[in-house]
Amino acid sequence: GTAEVSSILEERILGADTSVELEETGRVLSIGDGIARVYGLRNVQAEEMVEFSSGLKVMSLNLEPDNVGVVVFGNDRLIKEGDVVKRTGAIVDVPVGDELLGRVVDALGNAIDGKGPLGSKTRRRVGLKAPGIIPRISVREPMQTGIKAVDSLVPIGRGQRELIIGDRQTGKTSIAIDTIINQKRFNDGTDEKKKLYCIYVAIGQKRSTVAQLVKRLTDADAMKYTIVVSATASDAAPLQYLAPYSGCSMGEYFRDNGKHALIIYDDLSKQAEAYRAVSLLLRRPPGREAFPGDVFYLHSRLLERAAKMNKNHGGGSLTALPVIETQAGDVSAYIPTNVISITDGQIFLEAELFFKGIRPAINVGLSVSRVGSSAQIKAMKQVSGRLKLDLAQFREVAAFAQFGSDLDAATQQLLNRGVRLTELLKQGQPMAIEEQVAVIYAGVRGYLDKLEPSKITKFESAFLAHVLSQQQALLATIR
């Protein structure tokens, strides 16, 4: 009867298992263009990794009242409407540590060079905040690029952000790569303080270009102290947006352990474009040049993480060399002006100089370093002061010299000197700082004023060969 039924029901209800397994899930509402809209995922965090039932990992970016916009790293073909998504509870992080040196990894820190697993013990969040004001100290040690025009006129210190800006094919990447190769002389030495670990982040470049670059570093035996982070043009836009932050976290590991690191972002124009694509697909309102409103913050929060730490915080540093590609030399476009205002100076490369055979094609008039001169070595400070003055006067006079033929002796002298100094700043391979000082000294003291400009390169190599064989003690003093 009814009593029987109710007693059975009562038993069943009492025996019901009330323990719940809390696994926050959601369902895919729509998917397309690498963006999935997910319903559910109640307490998801911004930039948290969420996982599809297929095991595919994605990142949540838009947290809206009724749904979550997630971006897919890679192919979205495996995702269907109605698929179940679950939280991982982990914010995007990457492996860091010495084990990564000599390796090529993708934006999520997975090895892509076919040399097996990384074997890294530590992981670090990608989107960490920059150090505050108190842990920092002003830039004081030099970061030698091995390029005469840079080390003398726009010197870079450890912990500085120096922008490399110019049109395509003006040698921006070459300056960055030469700087990495130039660190070999310090990294092969025993002085730990001088060592500089390098990280090269390739954003939106061709795979062939990245492969070439890794080969060049390997041939120069510079790969052993370098990490290459690669998000190529064929990778999904979210990966190109993420790669600089991943590389930065790898660099911060050295910075926070009292070591010195250099990171190159090549290039941030591509990162901004990838971020614009993701933002527009997430339906965030566009601003100037259709970039989202927070594209300035995109770069400022990245570049602020480069810093020189004080003694109490280990005294390490992270130096950043972001690269920006301009269109037809237009430095006043949106992204270039943003990054110029964030960095501590810029190296401005010009196609016109490049085609004239002035390589590296640095426009020494427009390039500046706002903090680097306090990090120059004494000998270089002494010769570069005169070099700056001579070149500035030369630029002033060169404009007039085009019109008038009858120039007084003093003006002619300035022109002669300027032509020879410009010739002297050309170079092919990175040079040690003491060799640079010797060469520039010869130039600014007027020892080359009688020499044919075409013979200067020849003189330079003969002079250096002499100094290296006869004057080792002198070079050691300069150093």
Domains annotated for the chain, with CATH where assigned, are 3-90 (2.40.30.20), 94-376 (3.40.50.300), 380-478 (1.20.150.20)
What's the Cα-to-Cα distance from 231 to each of 55, 108, 165, 216, 446, rounded to whole Å? Answer: 21, 9, 20, 19, 49
Instruction: Give dist(CA 78, CA 459) in Å, integer.
Output: 64
Helices (H), 90-221: 148-153, 172-182, 184-187, 207-219
Closest CA to 463 of 444, 436, 445: 436
Quick one: pLDDT at residue 403?
78
Q: Rounded to two decimals, what is the model's pTM?
A: 0.93
Quick one: pLDDT at residue 18?
66
The answer for residues whose C-beta is within 8 angstroms of residue 338's C-beta and 6 or more apart is 295, 296, 299, 300
Confidence class of residue 4 from pLDDT cuts 50, 70 and 90? confident
Quick one: pLDDT at residue 2?
87
Contact at 8 Å (CB) between 305 and 298?
Answer: no
Task: Determine the distance from the C-alpha atom of residue 180 to the mean position of all C-alpha atoms in its chain, rounded to a whole number.
Answer: 12
Over residues 207-217, the mean pLDDT reads: 98
Helix and strand numbers (H, E) in the chain are 15, 16
Checking if the pLDDT of 19 tops 70, the result is: no
Percent of the chain that is helix, strand, coil (3-state, to 5): 40, 20, 40
Question: pLDDT tens digits for 275-296?
Answer: 999 999 999 999 999 999 999 9
Quick one: pLDDT at residue 22?
63
Confidence class of residue 363 from pLDDT cuts 50, 70 and 90? very high
Confidence class of residue 21 from pLDDT cuts 50, 70 and 90? low
| Number of neighbours of residue 167 by Cβ within 10 angstroms | 18
Question: pLDDT tens digits for 128-186?
Answer: 999 999 999 999 999 999 999 999 999 999 999 999 999 999 999 999 999 999 999 99
Quick one: pLDDT at residue 15?
76
Question: pLDDT tens digits for 351-361?
Answer: 999 999 999 99
Quick one: pLDDT at residue 13?
83
SS3 417: helix
Quick one: pLDDT at residue 124?
97
**Enzyme catalytic residues:** 370
